[in-house]
Amino acid sequence: MKFTTTTVLLAGATLLQTVSANFFLTCSNPRTDRVSDQFFLFADCADSAGLHHGTSSLDLSNCIVNDGGQLRAADNGGFSSSCTELSLDEGTRGLQALCENGHGGQDVSVVSLEFIENDEGVLSCFGHRGVYLGDLPPAAK
């Protein structure tokens, strides 16, 4: 089989697109945690060369809004102050939380996290790039 320069360039472009797309495709061990008053997403992500360098974190308040008890993707959403009981469902690729609905009650809501990207090994959303934490022991993550 003969490869041309065009074939190699197209293959490389496809890899770069895959790495920057939906983080579930190029990251492993996704998990959430509340740190102070913010909810964070943690994952071990590969760069465009397919190398895993460790864990990155992303403040989900930069990515999600509570809109009357319903979570949705939004730049600088700030949902953390009005939601609790956060959980990650890898099967549906969603984030579930109990959120204030603005009418004195709370609603369970789920938002797909497929909009979150892997930016060369670091989680990102809407131009907000998370923080690379490196290789942390499991208890410290």
Q: How far apart are CA 133 and CA 53, in angstroms?
A: 9
Higher model confidence: residue 11 or residue 64? Answer: 64
Q: Answer yes or no: pTM beyond 0.75.
A: yes
Q: Structural domain of residue 9, as residue ranges?
A: 5-135
Q: What is the CATH number of the domain that holds 102?
A: 2.30.60.10
pLDDT in tens, 75-89: 999 999 999 999 998
Percent of the chain with pLDDT over 90: 63
Higher model confidence: residue 15 or residue 115? Answer: 115
Mean pLDDT score, 26-50: 92
Asked if 118 and 20 count as a contact pair (C-beta separation under 8 A), the reply is yes
Residue 114, in any domain of the structure: yes
Total domain count, the chain: 1
Cβ contacts of 129 within 8 Å, gap of 6 or more: 119, 122, 123
Residue 76, in any domain of the structure: yes
Residue 141, in any domain of the structure: no
